[in-house]
Amino acid sequence: MASVLVLNATYEPLSVVSVRRAIVLLLKEKAELLEATEERIRASNLSLPYPLVIRLVYYVRVPRRMFVPLTRRALLARDNYTCQYCGFSGNSSELTMDHVLPKVQGGKTTWDNVACACRACNSRKGGKTLQEARMTLARKPARPQFLAFVVLSNASAHEVWGKYIPDMGQIGAPTSASVISRG
Ligand SMILES: [Zn+2]
């Protein structure tokens, strides 16, 4: 499903929503259209440009910590598709979500308790803690910052988003880890 970048009234990137949600915001005049494709969406008696970037009409106060959904893909992106135990760099089929404190020992699936691991390290660590497995992490896992999340959504991100996300051009996918650790 394609995504639409939502900017705050101040033009700062705020979130990423579905095309459907973006259209609702536009129709309710809660947002204005900034970027669209040539394509048009036809629904019943409506014909609308296919939105890429919208801007909220009213300013939304941004919470200091925005919620970043934890998915396997977001985790792999946070960890730069690199095993946090041995440094192996692979694709999504070669990497797994490892629980630092294993689930069997009460570990939760939270940003600060998961790390990207290759299959070998994942099975070597198994249900053990770091100490028990005598393994170390490349860095302490933490929740990624919001801007990073926008970048993590890259698969559905459109090039034009880069105009509104100042760092996106320099970030690119391979170095996204540097963004995440910021701030
Ligand atoms: Zn590994």
Q: Mind listing the domains of the chain with CATH numbers? A: 3-64+146-180 (no CATH), 72-133 (1.10.30.50)
8 A C-beta contact, residue 63 and residue 70 = no
Q: What is the whole-number distance in angstroms between the Cα of residue 83 and the centre of ligand 1?
A: 5
Q: Which residue has the higher pLDDT, 30 or 40?
A: 30
8 A C-beta contact, residue 129 and residue 101 = yes
pLDDT in the model for residue 2: 75
Q: What is the whole-number distance in angstroms between the Cα of residue 122 and the centre of ligand 1?
A: 7
Token pair 């393994």 in the structure block, residue: 135
For the chain, what is the mean pLDDT?
Answer: 82
| DSSP H stretches of helix in the chain | 19-27, 72-78, 119-125, 130-133, 146-152, 168-171, 176-180
- Identify residues whose C-beta is under 5 A from ligand 1, the ion: 83, 85-86, 88, 118, 121
Q: Is the pLDDT of residue 104 over 90?
A: yes
**How far is the C-alpha of 125 from the C-alpha of 170, rounded, in Å?**
35
Region 28-45: what's the mean pLDDT?
A: 90
Q: Is 31 helix (H, G, I), strand (E, B) or coil?
A: strand
Q: Is the pLDDT of residue 171 over 60?
A: no
